[in-house]
Every structure is written in C-alpha cells, then in structure tokens.
Homo-oligomer: A and B are copies of this chain.
Amino acid sequence: MSVAILRLGHRLVRDDRTTTHVALVARAFGCQKIYMTDVDDSIKLTIADVNDRWGYNNFEIEIVKNWKNVLQKWKKNGGLVIHITMYGINVDDFFKKTKKDNDKILLIVGAEKVPSEVYKLSDYNISVSNQPHSEIAALAIVLDRIFNGQELRLDFKSPKLKIIPSPTGKLVEKIKN
C-alpha cells in the first residue's frame, strides 16, 4: 500500500504551522510522499531535521507548481484520488463500500478553500464529520482507516533518539549509530 498526500492552497505565514502539521502527520503515519504547492523550501529542512533525530521511513517531499498535473498523472497510473472535505461522504461508509484493494492512493488535503475543480477531478470526496474542524485531524483519521491503527506502530530507521513509551514520564534513549 502506497499513500501520498497532495497539500493544496497553503497561504504563506498564515498556514505555515498547519501545513507543517500536515507534513509531519504524513511522515509519522507512514505516507510515502507529500506534494506541496505554494510553500517555501523551509519545510524540507524541518522534515530533514525530524528525520535526522527521529529516524527515516522513506518519506519524500516534492514542491510542485501545478497540482493538476500531479492529480492527473496519479489517475493515469491507476491510482485512486480521494479528496478529504467536510462535504464528502462519511469516511467509514466509504471504506465499507470501497475495498482498499487499490494499492496506490493519493489523498488531497486542502487549506481553507480549494478550487472547485478538485471536487470533480477526484475519484471520491470523503468527509471526517460534516462539521468544520481541521484538515490535520481529518487526514489523521483517514490514514488511520487506511492503515488500521498500524500507522501508530511504525519503526523508523537510524534514529538518534528513540522513545521508550512510558505512562508516567519522558524516557528517551540516545542511540549511537
């Protein structure tokens, strides 16, 4: 199963932190790649720094100019394109009916407004509640449904730091590579 994210509609400064959260969730939950529009290069440094400290999982960032090319190329190669939006059908209803047998999924995650074409060009529009909240939360829930909770148990390679899960405090192991 290969899942990529297409992040759309980032507004500089205003969305910096939320876009960083989207990228970090994509990385932490085991996506292969995130395509981003309208961001500056600093997001790559942020992820490189996190990888350096917490380990690698073959996660890539590609900054793109034309999101439509990404979407169309994905469809042409047989990938499923799913737009996450509060206007879509319930994520759980969707995955009950649509088998997860497509091993390539592109998830589109917008900021506040996305071009109306996105609704039409995507194969499906799915929602994580029909209330307004957070594209970060919505992405996390959709990835959870795709990976069935296994996204919370991934092992990252060559970390400098590794957490020893603890119910009462902070335990971090420093690893000499």
Contact = CB atoms under 8 A, between A and B. Distances in A.
A133 B25 contact: yes
A64 interface: no
Residues of A in contact with B, size category: 35 or more
Contacts of A24: 131-134
A151 B127 CA distance: 12
Contact of A140 (B55, B134, B151): B134
Interface of A: 14-15, 17-18, 21-22, 24-25, 27-29, 50, 54-55, 85-92, 94, 116, 119-120, 124-134, 136-141, 144, 149, 151-154, 156, 162-163, 165-172
Closest 5 CB pairs of A and B: A137-B140, A21-B134, A28-B131, A28-B133, A130-B163
